[in-house]
Amino acid sequence: MSDLYGLLGIPRDADDVQIKSAYRTLARACHPDLRGDEQRFRQISHAYATLAHPARRAAYDAQAGRERAMARGRPKSVLATMAASFTFTVSSGMFVAGLLLGVQANYGSPAGRRLVAPVWKP
């Protein structure tokens, strides 16, 4: 697993503004339409998509923490590993289901999480 924070050049405790600013700067520099590296642009876009979403960022941080602990020789408990894996699986599944069903979650609305279904017009 690559270090998404290092890829964007931000600290682990960066806020949303820092993440977005770093992404925009790197995206402009690496965009394929501006003769940038397409593979690097995809990596940067993936890093931003993961770190900008709170649930995905928490899952990534938990996974990265387990990997760092394993590298130091101190694995976390099996229960903590299973809980983090389940959280990531459920959040990823809900995201994919939303894409397949065409349902969008409006996380930034004042009413909280409100689902908006597409309108079918024959």
Amino acid type, 25: T
**Greatest extent of the chain over all pairs of C-alpha atoms, in Å:** 60
Strand partners, 114: 106
Fold type of domain 1-52 = Helix Hairpins (1.10.287)
CATH 1.10.287.110-classified regions of the chain: 1-52
> What is the distance, to the nearest Å, from the Cα of residue 25 to the centroid of all Cα atoms in its chain?
18
Q: Is the pTM of this model over 0.75?
A: no
Q: What distance in Å separates the CA atoms of residue 28 and residue 41, rounded to the nearest whole number?
A: 9
Q: How far apart are CA 115 and CA 53, in angstroms?
A: 17
pLDDT digits (tens, 9 = 90+) for 16-58: 999 999 999 999 999 988 888 899 999 999 999 999 999 999 9
Structure tokens at 87: 């959280």
Which pair of tokens denotes residue 118? 């597409």
